[in-house]
Amino acid sequence: MQKAQIPTYERIAIDLASRIYDGKFKVGEKIHGRSTLASEYKVSPETVRRAIKILEDVDIVQSTKGSGIVISSRENAYKYIHRFSNLESIKDLEKQMNSLIEERDKLDEQLFETLRKIMDYSGKLRHTNPLAPIEIEVFPGCSHIGQTISETKFWQNTGGTVIGMKRKGELIISPGPYALIMEGDTLLIIGDDQTYDRVLHFLHD
């Protein structure tokens, strides 16, 4: 069954009344000022003021300038919270929320770990088959921009063979030794399991 929804200030009033009835605040005692309560409940002082006004209206507390907020009736606190017996206090809701946050963090951590394993496994599969091309982008500043594949001695330096290029959305198959390497190109390369690292080092050297 869905529980009734009530404003935050009234939830705070219920929680304070519960603490009074439980004896955490005793009759005749002063409770924290509005600023302290606002910080404790993580709400604005105005929200606390409205909560205290409710408790004043049902004669649970008295609030006067210079005297602060004084507990006046434990019995009235019981009568007030009894009307909301089907509602959790704010503290209970906070506990539920914190529990859900912890569960979400654990799920996020598990998701990240699973994703890392997938990426690691995919990388191993990529290097397992030497005929499966790897893709490496030519970034700005590469010293080989403007040179042909032959001029760079690409195979001699990397052990990889360029079998294709992606340039401005177009795929160039078997570009040949005289194809220019341009900024923004994506090179499609085949080679052994060390080729990827050698090509990266070569293009960024």
Residue-wise pLDDT for 75-102, tens only, equals: 999 988 887 765 555 556 667 777 878 8
CB contact at 8 A, 12 and 36: no
pLDDT at 199 over 90: yes
Per DSSP, the three-state class of 9 is helix
Q: Cα–Cα distance between 96 and 3 in angstroms, integer? A: 15
29-87 pLDDT tens trace: 888 778 888 888 889 999 999 999 999 999 999 987 777 889 999 999 998 888 776 55
H-only helix segments in the chain: 8-21, 34-41, 45-57, 74-82, 90-128, 154-158, 195-204
Determine the pLDDT at residue 2. Answer: 43
* Dihedral of alpha carbons 7, 8, 10, 15, sign: positive
pTM, to two decimals: 0.40
Q: Cα–Cα distance between 189 and 178 in angstroms, integer? A: 16
* Amino acid letter for position 89: S
CB contact at 8 A, 14 and 85: no
Most confident segment among 2-16, 78-92, 109-123, 181-195: 181-195
Residue 144 — very low, low, confident or very high, per pLDDT cuts 50/70/90? very high
